[in-house]
Amino acid sequence: MRKKVSLFLFLCGLLLAILPLTGHRSFKIRPDNLVNQVLDPQVNYSVDEVAKLIVNGDSAIRLIDLRPRNEFIKAGIPGSINVPYEQFISEDPDIYLNDSKIKVILYGNDDFNSNYALVYCRGLGHDNAFVMDGGLNEWTRTIMESRFTGSRISARENALFEIRARASRIFNEINALPDSLRAVRLTASRFSARKLDGGCE
């Protein structure tokens, strides 16, 4: 028995040593499926939709800001969590996405980092990853600088502008605080990654 078990373990060990096994984590889902998923327009959230979610205080979403830390401190969408893109890729994004009931909306300054991250998350099998179309640039343009210029306002437009105005008020409230206070406010909402259970603690 000793020899049999030794032989088995030795062969497995050899296999592990030869193949570059661990640390190895590739996309899980089938490539064609991934293409279909990420080209589906429903992975996009427009900035107006995001503004509505913020104004309504929806707790089933989580906004992740992929910009560098210093930019996030300067101005960020209220309630979002800062995970710089480099960190997001190097770490295991699972910790931010493992609650499949919470939709995670990714955004950066523009459309690049957020969309890389979107494919990255979807590829690793997280169906709850979404992206805010246009990023913070689009947010600033649409929400912060929105002025109604038409002559007659319809009820629908009225509701839209109302939400935009409220979202931008929330945004300005936080971002107008003095630097030190704002840093506290923003870091307070910093997301703490779910700690893994285990050990004898």
Partner 1 sequence: MGPLTSAFAFSEWLNLLTAFMIGIGFGFALEQAGFSSSRKLVGMFYGYDTTVLKVFFTAAIFALVGSQILNYIGLLNLNQVYVNEFYVYASIIGGVIMGGGFIMGGYCPGTGLCAMSIGKVDAAVFIAGGLAGAFLFAETFPMIQGIADSGYRGAVRINEIFGISPGLFSFLLITAAIVMFWLAEKAEVRFARPEITNEL
Partner 2 sequence: MKKKYMNPYLAGILLGTVLLLSMYISGRGLGASGGIKYCVVAITGAIDRSHTEDSPYYSKYFENGEKPFRNWLSFEIFGVIAGGFISGVVSKRNRFRIEKSPRITNTKRLFYAFTGGLLFVYGAQLARGCTSGAALSGMAVLSVAGFVTMIAIFGSAYIFAWFFRKNWI
Partner 3 sequence: MIRLIKKYGLVMLVFGLVLAAVLFRAFSWSGFRYDASEWAEASKDGHNIVYFADKEKTVENSLTVDMGPAYSTFDGSSGKHIRISPDSILARDNFNLIRKHKGPVILKSSDPAIAARVWMIISQKGIKNVFILRDSADLQK
Residue 197 beta carbon to partner 3: minimum distance, rounded to whole angstroms:
24
Question: Could you say whether residue 12 binds partner 1 (CB under 8 A)?
Answer: yes
Q: How far is CA 76 from the centre of its chain?
A: 13
DSSP string, 65-89: E-S-HHHHHH---TTEEE--HHHHH
Question: Could you say whether residue 13 binds partner 1 (CB under 8 A)?
Answer: yes
φ, ψ for residue 30, nearest 5 deg: -70, 140
Ramachandran category for residue 74: left, alpha or beta (phi over 0 → left; psi -120 to 50 → alpha) = alpha
Question: Could you say whether residue 60 binds partner 1 (CB under 8 A)?
Answer: no
Q: How many residues bind partner 2 (CB under 8 A)?
A: 10
Residue 43 beta carbon to partner 3: minimum distance, rounded to whole angstroms:
9
| Cβ neighbourhood burial of 111 (10 Å; 0-12, 13-18, 19+) | middle
Question: Could you say whether residue 30 binds partner 3 (CB under 8 A)?
Answer: yes
Whichever of 19 and 196 has its CB closer to partner 2, that residue is 196
Question: Could you say whether residue 2 binds partner 1 (CB under 8 A)?
Answer: yes
59 binds, among partner 3, partner 1, partner 2, none (CB under 5 to 8 A by kind): none
Question: Could you say whether residue 23 binds partner 3 (CB under 8 A)?
Answer: yes
